[in-house]
Structure 1
Amino acid sequence: MISRTFNRYIWLLNTLIQHKRLTFEEISNRWDNSRLSDGKPLALRTFHTHRDAIFDLFEIEIKCDTSTYEYYVSTMEPLRKDMTKKWLLNSFTLSNMIEAGHNMKDRILFEEIPHGTEYLQTVIDAMLQSKELEVDYQSFYGHRSTYHMHPYAMKVYNQRWYVVGYIKEKEGIRNIALDRTLELTIGTETFVLPDDFDAEEYYANTVGIFVNENQKPQKVVVRAFGKHVEYMRTLPLHHTQKEIKTIHEEYSDFQYKLCLTPELSTHLLAMGEKVKVLEPEELRSEIKNRLLTTIQNYE
């Protein structure tokens, strides 16, 4: 359970994000109606302490307009630039709301992340200490292996946690899924994180978790039909998405710069008849062949 003090930081930040600009009196009135107040008023000194704590935690500054004596969040840029801080704020906010509702926990449902989360702290400790991980791993094909890995970064995708790093036995950078890990321990050997490794850049040209370092990104154009156009606009397939052609209420074409990976094909196939790949021809052919195979499975 999150500490009560931390909940107050989240409450104050969200109150100002929602209402834009508020005087201390207006903030105090909202505080009095909050479950966090316990019937006690918000002291001005406590308010300023919370402002400082919010800046320390999220690098978000709450400023005061001296002409109106209104407080406001100066910028949300730190959250837009740092996905970890944004994820933490969203998580704590939701937890705060669930606690406030008491019996709401049975009405807010989450996707379950399977086996593997128990290793998160070990991986983070190894990353902080720059220590090698010894991993007892079993693939989906049943093959069991022991790997010695230099953990570079972590990523969550499709309800699974992955660790990316250099695996000695593979002589290269690979991903492992924590839910396929049977045992994981920190070794004694240390490693140095390469200066040229950037986790965001490593995944920059791919959809999902699979990276083929020998592949070059190329232009991909996908046509979305009907209402799915708005879905693509609000939830882009990839950060390189550009809408290059629109025929009102009929379809829109979206362009990307991507490596052609199995996960990209699977993602597009999951959209079914709502989309069509226009280029490259290599991707069009793969999607078509997989659809034909799917049809054959039903015959």
Structure 2
Amino acid sequence: MTVTRFRDSARYWRTPLLPGADLVTAEYRDHAFTPHWHDAYTIPVIEAGAECYDYRGTHYVAEAGSVPVINPGELHTGARAVEAGWRYRVMYVPVDFIHDLATDISGRVQPLPWFEPGVIRDPVLADRLRRAHHLLEENAADPLAAEAALLDALSMLLVRYGRTRAAAQSAGSDDNRVATMKDCLTGDLTAPLTLAQLADAVGLSPFHAARLFAQTTGLPPHAWRNQVRLQRSLAPLRAGTSVADVAAASGFTDQSHFTRHFRRMFGVPPGRWQGV
């Protein structure tokens, strides 16, 4: 029996019916996503094949018909779990939209919704998410139907699986040190920065500063900084700024360096992102 293999292909797009969101229709086989995060809720539905990913210290496999939700700011990977690869539809939904929807559903202000790690296996939810995504992709020929399907799908996700994350304990000295290091790393993304400078800012040795940062964020300081650079590059790319100029303004050494990291995170080169 011949097994059809998926090809590495992705289309990112936007719709006024879901302001600020990025949506993608994609299939992958050879591409593997390195550890990264998104500022939005990542809400995929696997249409065919299977994807595997590491998330919060556990390895998961999401097969066709499943919904592997990732919370905003959470480090995760992505790769094929079967020889053929996988095909999926994804909504990257802004935090404010999900928060406001949760408040509307309950009738009172809600804490920020949180989804437990793991693969959601709910055929009804998967079908509704797939239908909403498809209607939005059709360029909303019937915007009333598309928006109703979107709210129906996301409301079901929140009602069935939305939780409240346990309140964090009061920040200790290590939390404050990590916050200070993050401020140093993001203050000027184009400025050279050494590990010694980062360590001096928090009163630690370079070894202990690097270890504390990696233990807390899941990435070493330089990799975490590159993630921030990539996230901040999206808006100027959409605005039509050249890839070379965005690369320079984001603090990458050159355009090829920027393109390589961008492709690893988003599955497409930055030039494909422009015009989204």
Task: Please report the TM-score for the alignment, with normalisation by the length of structure 1.
Answer: 0.22
Rg larger for: 1
- Where relative contact order (Cα < 8 A, 6+ residues apart) is larger, the structure is 2
Which structure shows the bigger proportion of residues in strand conformation? Answer: 1
